[in-house]
Amino acid sequence: MDPAPITHAPRDHQEYPGAQYILPTDGLERKRLAVQHALVKRMFEDRILFPPIHLAKGDKVLDSGTGSGTWLLDLATSVDASVEMIGFDIESRLFPVDPPRNITFRVNSVVDLPAEWSNTFTLVNQRLVVLGLEIPQWPLALGEMFRVLRPGGWVQFLEMVPEHVGETGRPNTDQLIALMQAVGKARNIYLGCAYNLPKMLADAGFVDIQQEWRIQKIGKGVEEDSAQKENMMELFRGMKTPVLKAGGFGIVSSEADYDALLEGMGREWEEMPATDHDVAAIWARKPSESGTV
């Protein structure tokens, strides 16, 4: 028997059939995604494209798990307006209201892309979907990306690796990480996907697989500390609804308990040394001779 949900003021979350994505789809999440985009962009020297590619007229770009479309909107400022771009997600609430004319948004799941997209895109991008796909969905998603890419096209990912309990030395932060791991396990989410992406890409048929890792310092004394703190605090605030709906996993028994952990993490951020957070950019190519249809 499932634990009784804990009474709380819920935030808006996606309702796509069968989807397990943990974070909300509301105005606060839109703001967090903008902060997050700026942070990870700076982490990789302001790059948002990783493969050796120059997008020009006739090229098409697909953004998987586009969210608020932040990555696509940024890309649109640096490529020709003739490049067609499509962003999709399982929830439309975060989509931009008035995007550039060469960008369209639609509701779709990466594990079931339209049949007519086969061999269409020059580049497929997916960022920070670690909290969205179940373990068995990753091979399905990569297979779909392979199918919709043109022969010779590229796929790129950016993923963070959630910290493990005990690594931070911060009691409240560790409890929140434990809750992330618990809700991820309950939903069969692949929290360690970044470590295994190169192998999964090879298994899907991709070649020229490359990766770059960065260590993000999180906490006291770090440059852009306020932005990092805002992003991390809002991420865990956004996780509150699925945690409390699941009964708190034996770690929290009320919304007040959860909020106390957030307040404690805020204090730890100001008082304790910074910790490391692994982030990976990974990209790969569909073979030019591929006959996939």
Q: What is the CATH number of the domain that holds 249?
A: 3.40.50.150
Q: Which pLDDT score is estimated for 277? A: 80
- Residue 159's closest CA among 199, 136, 127? 127
Tokens 């020297």 -> residue: 45
50-109 pLDDT per residue, tens: 999 999 999 999 999 999 999 999 999 999 999 999 999 999 999 999 999 999 999 999
The CA-based dihedral angle spanning residues 251, 255, 257, 263, taken in that order and rounded to the nearest 10 degrees: 120
Is residue 9, in this structure, part of any structural domain at all? no
Residue 21 lies in a domain: no
- Give the model's pLDDT for residue 122: 98
| Mean pLDDT, all residues of the chain | 92
Angle (CA) 100 43 195, round 5°: 100
What is the secondary structure of 223-240 as a DSSP string?
TTHHHHHHHHHHHHHHTH
Q: How many domains does the chain have?
A: 1
Q: Is residue 292 part of a domain?
A: no
Residue 112 counted as domain residue:
yes
Q: Is 1's pLDDT higher than 80?
A: no
Residue 5 lies in a domain: no
Q: Is residue 232 part of a domain?
A: yes
Range of the domain at 90: 27-285
pLDDT tens per residue across span 214-235: 988 777 667 667 888 899 999 9
Q: What does the alpha-carbon distance between residue 54 and residue 155 come to, in Å, rounded to a whole number?
A: 14
